[in-house]
Structures are given as structure tokens and as C-alpha cells.
Structure 1
Amino acid sequence: MTFLTTVKDPDLADNKGMEGKFAREKLNGDGRRTVEANEALKAVIIFAIGFVGYGVIEILFRGYTHWSMLLTGGACLLTLYYLNVQFNKVSMVWKALIGAFVITAYELAVGVIVNLLFHFNVWDYSEQPFDFLGQICPLFTFLWFLLCLLLLAVSKIFYRRNRYLTP
């Protein structure tokens, strides 16, 4: 049961890089690899972890959360996962910096929609120095950087112990 996408990859034509029964990619007869349904399941699980995880973080620190933050947390973690896979040779500090800017971009986009357009007033950074529209500020970009460092360190330990799950 394979779906989602196919990619021409001549390097895999002779089965290089396959990891036995734990391989996530299989070769077709014509040398193309196909991404299996478990990739979609992995994406759903990562999104769900971000959804629940960010909700828990907000409840612990603010005492409440909003449904828009749950969706944003899921989208952020999934994006960070794919960035980590794509830039696997980049240092952890650079990946955390990129992640902080990605989360800040999500925060601005969601803030403009839920706070400025729909007036849900989920957060307001107007009191923070150098805020932009009350939706983002350098302090929280720095906090996202620290969170990304923590997530990258945890994922590195997790992948090292479960090599068959590595991207």
C-alpha cells in the first residue's frame, strides 16, 4: 500500500541504503522509490504531539490555551521535523535559529488572523519591547529558539536510540 509521491532516484536502483524490514521506502521495478502510508501516519503523529505538547506548555505557563494555538503547535512541530530532516547536516544551533524564525512567522500569521482579524485576543505582545503589531516580539523569538534547541536535543537522543526511525 503505497501512495503520496514517487521520486526518481538512480542511487537507490541497486537497493543502496535500505535497512531491511525497517526501511520506509521501497523500490519499484523502474528504480523509483515510493513513500508508504507510514510516512503519512508519522506526520499525523508528529502533528498530534505538537498539538498536545504546545497545549500543555501553554496551560502550564499561562493557565489556559486556545484551539488556534493547538493547531499552530502541531503545524510548528511538523514543520520543524521536516526542516530537521531536510537540513540534517546543519548544526543544531543554526537549526534552532531557523526554527525560531519559522515559529515566529507562524505566530505572526496566526496572530494576524485570530487576534487582529477575528479579535479572539489570544495574546498581545504590545507591552513587549520591539513588538510588531502586538503579535510577535524578540523576547518570544528567543524563547522559541530555546524551545527548538530542547526539541532538537531530544530528537537527536530519540533517533540515536531508534536508528530505524531516522529520516
Structure 2
Amino acid sequence: MKIKYQIEKYMILFAIGGMAYFLLEVLVRGYSHYSMFLCGGACFLCCGLLNENMKIKMSFISQMVLSALIITALEFITGLIVNIWLKMDIWDYSQLPYNFMGQICLLYSIFWFLVSSVAIVLDDFLRYKIFNEEKPHYKIF
């Protein structure tokens, strides 16, 4: 029963994170793609797991830095699959400075750092309110 509960919990968190990512992209760009739902769900799960089941709680800023790195890495992997391998041309950052293969760039990594603060708090809130997990406590540094 516990495994089934965990699977359901992670499916709910994945769906919420995927939808939030998709809607954020629609808000910023005016459109999105279903692959961004999948990437966003994976990002939300990975970032949410950073401070779970750890004996030493990570600072909020550390979570934001690691989250930005995770999101950037998952965006790169998604870009390699959908843009390069499948040739779907969902996005291309080639015109932006400090880009890598047109799939990721420094500007968006900084953006992910800022957005991750909302994702971290949302994940903790959902875990507390919906799944009756520990009430979130933060140390900034």
C-alpha cells in the first residue's frame, strides 16, 4: 500500500509541476509544447526531492542553485531529444549569448534559479497540505 501511495503522490506532483511549467511557458512565450509538460513534471519532482529525507536540511539558496542546474540539465536533455534527435524545432537559443548547442543558455538558467524559489515553496506546500508531510521550515543561507 505504501508503494502505491508513493506512486500516486509522485504522479500528482509530476502533473502539477508539468502543468505549471507548461502554463509558465504559455504566459512567457504565448505557446508551449507537450514535451514541456513532461520536462516540467520531471523538473518539479527532481527539485522537490532535494530536501526530502535528508538528515541535514539544505539552505533555500542551495536548493535554488541545485534546482536551476537540474532544470537546465533536463531542458538540455529534452532539447537534444525533441529538437535535435526528433527535429521538432520546439525552441532554439542559438541567437542568445552563452548558449550551448542552442538548447540551453545562461539567461534561462538565471531565470530557472528565480523560478525555482516558487517551485520549492509550492512543492513543500503541496506535500504539507495534501500529503500531510512535515511543515516546511527554511533557512535562507
TM-score (norm 2): 0.84
Letter in 1 for 2:63: K
CA distance in 1, matches of 2:41, 2:127: 20
Letter in 2 for 1:50: G
Identify the residue that residue 128 of structure 1 maps to in structure 2: 96
The C-alpha deviation readout for 1:41-93, integer Å capped at 9, x for no partner, is: 11000001012111111111111111111110111111111123145601000
Displacement of 1:157 in angstroms is: 5.2
More helix by share: 2
User: Do 2:96 and 2:105's aligned partners in 1 also have CA atoms closer than 8 Å?
Assistant: yes
Identify the residue that residue 8 of structure 2 maps to in structure 1: 41
Match of 1:140 among 108, 114, 120: 108
Q: Would you say how many aligned residue pairs link Structure 1 and Structure 2?
A: 134
- Identity, % of aligned pairs? 36
The C-alpha deviation readout for 1:144-165, integer Å capped at 9, x for no partner, is: 1101112223445556667932
RMSD: 2.2
User: Do 2:43 and 2:74's aligned partners in 1 also have CA atoms closer than 8 Å?
Assistant: yes
Match of 1:164 among 108, 113, 132: 132
Match of 2:36 among 57, 69, 79: 69
Structure with the greater alpha carbon radius of gyration:
1
- Which structure is richer in relative contact order (CA contacts within 8 A, separation 6 or more)? 2
Identify the residue that residue 96 of structure 1 maps to in structure 2: 64
